[in-house]
Amino acid sequence: MANTGEIQEEIERGVSPSPSPGRTAMPLSLNHVSFVCKSVPESVKFYDDVLGFVLIKRPSSFKFEGAWLFNYGVGIHLLESSDKAPTKKKSKINPKDNHISFQCSDMNLVMRKLEEKNIEYVTAVVEEGGITVDQLFFHDPDGYMVEICNCQNLPVLPLSPCPLRSPETSRNLASSRSQYGKLLSCC
C-alpha cells in the first residue's frame, strides 16, 4: 500500500489507492460489531424492539457478561461494562460522528417506531445525480450512533479497476447488486 500522503492525493483525485502487491485472503464480509454497554438487558431490548435483532446463543466459555444478537446478515455483540458508572450520552446527534448504518425500505415505518418509543432522531438527505437517499440518525441506550437509510438507491462506482470481490466466489464482480445499490461499470 502506498504511504498516507500518496493515498490522500489519490483520494483527492478520485482514484482508489493501488492495492499492495500480492494481497490475498481479504475479509469476506462484515461478521459483527461489538459494543460495550452499561446494561446488556437494556441494550438487548433496544436492538430487539427498535431494530428487529434476535437474541442468539452465545458461547458459554466467555468469562464476562454479554449477549449476541443477529439479523440482516450481521451480528451485534453486547459486552457488559465492568465500570457501572453511567455512560455519557451525547448531547447532540451528529451525522458526521462514528456510527453503524442499516438500510431499510420504509423510512416512515422506522420514524413512527422511533417516535412511539420517544427516541430522538435527526434526518438528512443525500442527493447525487438525481438519486435521493434518506437518512435517520439516533443513539442507542449507551450513546452509540445508529443510522437507518435507503442507501440501496445509491450506485456503487469503484474508483479503480474492479477492486470489489464477491464474498461467495472471491472473483471480481462484473455487474452485481450490492447492499448500497447497483454496482456499475466494473471490469
- Residue 150 located in a structural domain: no
- Residue 111 located in a structural domain: no
How far is the CA of 67 from the CAs of 38, 57, 62, in angstroms?
12, 8, 10
pTM: 0.74
| pLDDT tops 80 at residue 1 | no
| pLDDT tops 80 at residue 68 | yes
> Domain containing 59: what range?
29-86
Q: Looking at the annotation, which residues are catalytic?
A: 147
- Residue 166 located in a structural domain: no
- Residue 130 located in a structural domain: no
**What pLDDT sits at residue 187?**
46
- Mean pLDDT over 24-39 rounds to 84
- Residue 39 located in a structural domain: yes
| Percent share of the chain, pLDDT over 90 | 53
Number of domains in the chain: 1
Closest of 1, 15, 25 to residue 165, by C-alpha: 25
DSSP secondary structure string, 23-52? Answer: ------S--EEEEEES-HHHHHHHHHHTT-
**What pLDDT sits at residue 165?**
64
- Residue 108 located in a structural domain: no
- Residue 37 located in a structural domain: yes
Tens of pLDDT, residues 136-174:
999 999 999 999 999 888 888 777 776 566 555 444 444
CATH of the domain at 33: 3.10.180.10
Write out the three cell numbers for 180: 448500497
